[in-house]
Amino acid sequence: MVSGISTSFIVHNACLSRGHPETVLKDRRVRVPTVHEYMELIFLGTGGSWPTPQRNVSAFAIKRGSELLLFDCGEGTQRQFQRSNVSYMAISNIFLTHLHGDHILGLPGLLQTMNLNDREAPLTIHGPPGTKRYVSLIFTNPLPRPGFEVNVKEITDEHVTPFDGYRIVARQLDHTVTSFGYALIEDPRPGRFDKAKALDLGVPEGPLFGKLQKGQPVELDDGTTIDPQQVLGSPRRGRKIAYTGDCRPSEATVELAHNADVLIHEATFSDEHEDANRYGHSTASQAAFIAKKAHARTLYLTHISPRYANASPLEEEARTVFENAHIANDLDTLVVKFPPDEPATGDFAKTAQDAATAQ
């Protein structure tokens, strides 16, 4: 407990963040994570350093089913939410990459507005060392104390936060201060249901099909038990979204982005700016090189310097290295579909709970 802060406000460090428990089906059942068909990425702020008429500063959201995650919260983020198709009241978790102003100065206003709108649901804020102190200062008088529970969890490199059906993995990247990138990795999806095989085994169409697809064994009228493994194919990989925040190129970034369906990478400058790396940033072509080396499917460039009123040259620069590169603009949205039926191997074969237990 922090002195002077109400009991509704809880701040602590954590070795393991607690998400929602994974569904574990016992006996002859198989593990079936919560699979949400719908995933949308919302680019709330795509500029760096300070807001411009074209771009607000860093903020990025992922909507997965009914859950909404926010990554970074630059100045004016709450207003960007009001211009978007999602509500800031739906945010369950906020992940801060680092404690530079253009990534965190929107947090006080956002929390105050949540409070003024009678938020009751708890909120968890994840971030680097120093996040605990920063959030504590937000609620120091004369700012109002929240009427809802706020938990702060300071993270370390390779920290895993498990949730129902996915996990958030943090990697410490190379910037001028301690800074983390994050990857959302979904649990393996069940294999495809083989209807013909189920019928051959005597399973009638109807509710028993649904039970098998959910990983539950079923018993036929003649007493025969059909296990889900008999009618489900091999587990399929889920989706992966990687977000870097601010960083210079590094192997840690490549590892974070490995096989990502979408990589959101900072591209503060063009190659003409020779001091990009000295200031802890990447150029557009360097971001593209990371995407190519990591075998990412799609690259979105963000954290664009205010010097670029027209960012199309950055996109062109990136596409000379990685063809599927795009400039992210404020309030752009992207629906991420499931990848083709690829087997769940490597990191994609792990569940959120397995990965958290192994750390």
Cα-based distances in Å from 174 to 157, 204, 304: 12, 57, 18
Ordered DSSP codes for 287-323: HHHHHHHHT-SEEEEE-B-TT-SS-HHHHHHHHTT-S
Nearest to 247 by CA among 58, 97, 73, 95: 97
Cα-based distances in Å from 147 to 119, 120, 271, 343: 7, 7, 48, 46
Residue 102 known to be catalytic: yes
| Cα 144–chain centre separation | 29
Distance CA 157, CA 170 (A): 6
Is 185 in contact with 54 (CB distance < 8 Å)? no
Residue type for 108, please? P
Is 39 in contact with 239 (CB distance < 8 Å)? yes
Is 81 in contact with 44 (CB distance < 8 Å)? yes
Looking at residue 192, what DSSP letter applies? P
CA atoms within 13 A on the CB side of 283: 19
Nearest to 137 by CA among 7, 3, 13: 3
Selecting among 27, 72, 102, 222, the annotated active-site residue is 102
Q: Which long-range contacts (CB under 8 A, 24 or more apart) does 142-146 make?
A: 143/108, 143/112, 144/112, 144/115, 145/5, 145/6, 145/8, 145/9, 146/6, 146/8, 146/9, 146/111, 146/114, 146/115, 146/119
Residue with tokens 């947090």: 107
H-type alpha helices, the chain: 77-83, 101-104, 107-116, 131-138, 195-200, 207-213, 251-257, 284-294, 312-319, 352-358
Residues noted as catalytic: 102
